[in-house]
């Protein structure tokens, strides 16, 4: 059985267990953690995650953030100015664009708030946020609006409660439930 097949099986086992009531938003977050080298292969498996979710009696909504930054920038009123001088973007030196992150938080909050309590909202493409936003800020910002579950497909690593996106940035401490192939 491949690493991604094991990941799907572990996810299916977890998502099929009864969901306790009364959890906080943070406790409703599930990180599906896999090596960054598996990102393209994982994309092929997304339909399998959806199928397993539906088989467990839950709804499914996918929010793919892969094109979020170029779409946001293309629609931005001052995009030409920012292309000439990217340092004008708030948060640019830290690699966390404040306005873009606020946009992602709002977009994610809308999705999780609109989803019924039995649904999963899945975030894919979070690796594309590297250098322009922060997965932890998006998840934390949306957490209080989660009705069902927020599943984050996370290309990186988990060591204890420390998550590292793309194995390249200092991690953050997060108390989400993690599903790994190991």
Show the 3-state SS of 72-127.
HHHHCCCHHHHHHCHHHCCCHHHCCCHHHHHHHHHHHHHHHHHCCCCEEEEEECHH
Residue recorded with tokens 């497909």 = 153
Helix (H, G, I), strand (E, B) or coil at 180: coil
What pLDDT score does 179 carry?
86
What pLDDT score does 180 carry?
85
Q: Is domain 3-16+25-179 in CATH 3.40.50, yes or no?
A: yes
Maximum separation of any 2 CA atoms in the chain, in Å: 52
Is the pLDDT at 139 greater than 80? The verdict is yes
CA distance 68 to 88: 20
Is the pLDDT at 9 greater than 90? The verdict is yes
For 61-74, the pLDDT digits (tens) are 999 999 998 887 78
**Per-residue DSSP letter, 20:** P
Is the pLDDT at 170 greater than 60? The verdict is no
Residue recorded with tokens 């992150």 = 101
For 24-42, the pLDDT digits (tens) are 888 999 999 999 999 999 9
């Amino acid at each position: 059985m491949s690493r991604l097949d094991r990941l799907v099986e572990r996810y299916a086992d977890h998502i099929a267990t009864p969901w306790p009531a009364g959890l906080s938003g943070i406790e409703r977050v599930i990180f599906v953690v896999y090596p960054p080298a598996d990102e393209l292969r994982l994309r092929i498996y997304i339909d399998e995650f959806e199928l397993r979710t539906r088989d467990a009696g839950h709804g499914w909504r996918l929010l793919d953030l892969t094109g979020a930054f170029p779409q946001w920038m293309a629609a931005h009123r001052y995009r030409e100015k920012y292309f000439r001088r990217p340092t004008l973007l708030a948060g640019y030196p830290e690699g966390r664009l404040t306005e873009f992150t606020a946009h992602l938080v709002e977009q994610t909050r809308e999705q999780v708030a609109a989803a019924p309590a039995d649904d999963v909202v899945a975030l894919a493409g979070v690796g594309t946020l590297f250098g322009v936003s922060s997965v932890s800020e998006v998840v934390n910002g949306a957490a209080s609006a989660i009705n069902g579950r927020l599943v984050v497909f996370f290309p990186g690593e988990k060591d204890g409660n420390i998550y590292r996106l793309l194995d390249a940035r200092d991690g953050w401490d997060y108390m989400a439930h993690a599903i790994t192939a190991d």
